[in-house]
Amino acid sequence: MIFKNSDIQISSVKYKIEYDSEKEIATITPTANIIAAKPQILIASIHVDDHELRPSLKLVLDEGERAYIVPYVKIARPLISAPDDQSKDKEYKVTLKLHFSEDEIHDLDEYIRIIKE
């Protein structure tokens, strides 16, 4: 469990990363597994290296457990890592920022690498 309050539990956030070497564009698509106690709307935004790339999108949550795919973001000409490269200078900090209310905002940070396959 990575987040829990009285109405929502987030068990995981996974990032699908695709790289188009011809266009030199990386696409990052977050999927959040959420358990909602009741139907509700959650406001989210996606930041990469502290730059907001997907502002204020609405996630309409149904009661119960479900995987929610968040609209993707793209990075043009990203830093590329080799599969065995562990250097921190080629990492991107991706933050899924969840707004539960005006006063309650939770950041889910993940460091990712874009690997050319």
Domain residue limits at 74: 3-115
Task: Please give the pLDDT value at position 102.
Answer: 67
Task: Please give the pLDDT value at position 86.
Answer: 79
- Model confidence pLDDT, tens digit, residues 75-94: 999 999 888 887 788 899 99
Cβ neighbours, 10 Å, residue 96: 21
Three-state SS for the chain is CCEECCCEEEEEEEEEEEEECCCCEEEEEEEEEEEECCCEEEEEEEEECCEEEEEEEEEEECCEEEEEECCCEEEECCCEECCCCCCHHHCEEEEEEEECCCCCEEEEEEEECEECC
Task: Note the Cα 89 to chain centre separation in Å.
Answer: 20
Residue whose entry in the numeric block shows the structure tokens 């266009």: 23
Q: Looking at residue 10, which CATH number applies to its domain? A: 2.60.40.10
- Model confidence pLDDT, tens digit, residues 27-76: 999 999 999 999 999 999 999 999 999 988 999 999 999 999 999 999 99
Q: Pick the range with the lowest mean pLDDT from 12-26, 36-50, 65-79, 102-116.
A: 102-116
Q: How many domains does the chain have?
A: 1
pTM as predicted = 0.87
Comparing 117 with 20, which gets the higher pLDDT?
20
